[in-house]
Chain A
Amino acid sequence: MDFTIDWYFLIEKLLLISAVLGISLLVAMYSTWGERKVAAWIQDRRGPNRAGIFGLLQPLADGGKLFFKEEIIPSHANRFLFVLGPSLAMLTACLTSAVIPWGDSLTIGDRIVSLQIADINIGVLWIMAVVGMGVYGIMIGGWASNNKFSLLAACRGASQVISYELPMGLALIALFMLSGSLSLKDIVEQQREGVWYIVLQPIGFLIFLICAFAECNRTPFDLPEAENELNGGYHLEYSSMKLGFYLFAEYINMFISSVLMATLYFGGYAFPYMDSLGLDGNMLTILGIVALFIKTFFFIFVFMWVRWTIPRFRYDQLMKLGWKILIPLALLNMLVTGAVVLFRQYGI
Chain B
Amino acid sequence: MGIDMIIFTVLSAIAIAAALGVILSKNPVNSVLCMITCFVAIAGHYIMLNAQFLFVVHLIVYTGAIMVLFLFVLMMMNLNADIEPQKRNWLKYAGAISGGALLLVLVAALRDASLPAIQEGGKTDIGLVSNLGKTLFTSYVVPFELSSVLFLSAMVGAVVIGKK
Contact = CB atoms under 8 A, between A and B. Distances in A.
Q: Determine if chain A interacts with chain B.
A: yes
Interface of A: 1-3, 78, 81, 120-122, 125-126, 128-129, 131-133, 135-136, 139-140, 143, 151, 154-155, 158, 162, 182
30 contacts: A1-B4, A2-B2, A78-B27, A81-B29, A121-B129, A121-B130, A122-B52, A122-B53, A125-B57, A126-B56, A129-B56, A129-B59, A129-B63, A132-B59, A132-B60, A132-B64, A132-B68, A133-B59, A133-B63, A133-B64, A135-B64, A135-B68, A139-B68, A139-B71, A143-B29, A151-B75, A155-B72, A155-B75, A162-B68, A182-B129
A183 to B, nearest CB: 9
B61 to A, nearest CB: 9
Nearest to B65: A132
A44 B68 CA distance: 43
B154 interface: no
Contacts of A182: 129
Nearest to A135: B68
A3 B4 CA distance: 10
B36 interface: yes
B56 A122 contact: yes
B52 A143 contact: no
A3 B3 contact: yes
B3 A125 contact: no
A276 to B, nearest CB: 32
Nearest to A169: B60
Contacts of B152: none
B75 A143 contact: yes
B128 interface: yes
Contacts of B72: 139, 155, 158
B52 A158 contact: no
A164 to B, nearest CB: 13
10 closest Cβ pairs, A-B complex: A132-B64, A1-B2, A129-B59, A125-B56, A143-B75, A129-B60, A122-B56, A122-B52, A129-B56, A135-B68
Contact of B36 (A81, A136, A154, A155): A136
Chain B's interface size range is 20 to 34
A85 to B, nearest CB: 11
A223 to B, nearest CB: 17
Given A1-B4, A182-B129, A162 B65 contact: yes
Nearest to A4: B3
Given A125-B56, A132-B60, A151-B75, 20 more contacts: A1-B2, A1-B3, A3-B3, A81-B33, A121-B52, A121-B129, A122-B52, A122-B53, A122-B129, A126-B56, A128-B64, A129-B60, A129-B64, A132-B59, A132-B68, A133-B64, A136-B71, A139-B68, A158-B68, A182-B129
A120 B63 CA distance: 20
A78 B64 CA distance: 23
B102 to A, nearest CB: 31
Interface in B69-118: 71-72, 75-76
A135 to B, nearest CB: 5
A182 B57 CA distance: 13
Interface string B1-36: 011110000000000000000000001010001001
B36 to A, nearest CB: 7
Contacts of B53: 122, 125
Contact of B60 (A120, A125, A136): A125
Nearest to A125: B56
A120 to B, nearest CB: 6
A78 B71 CA distance: 15
A133 B56 CA distance: 12
A235 B57 CA distance: 30
Contacts of B76: 155
A135 B63 CA distance: 10
Contacts of B68: 132, 135-136, 139, 158, 162
B40 to A, nearest CB: 9
A185 to B, nearest CB: 14
Contacts of B56: 122, 125-126, 128-129
Contacts of A140: 33
A175 to B, nearest CB: 15
A94 to B, nearest CB: 16
A176 to B, nearest CB: 10
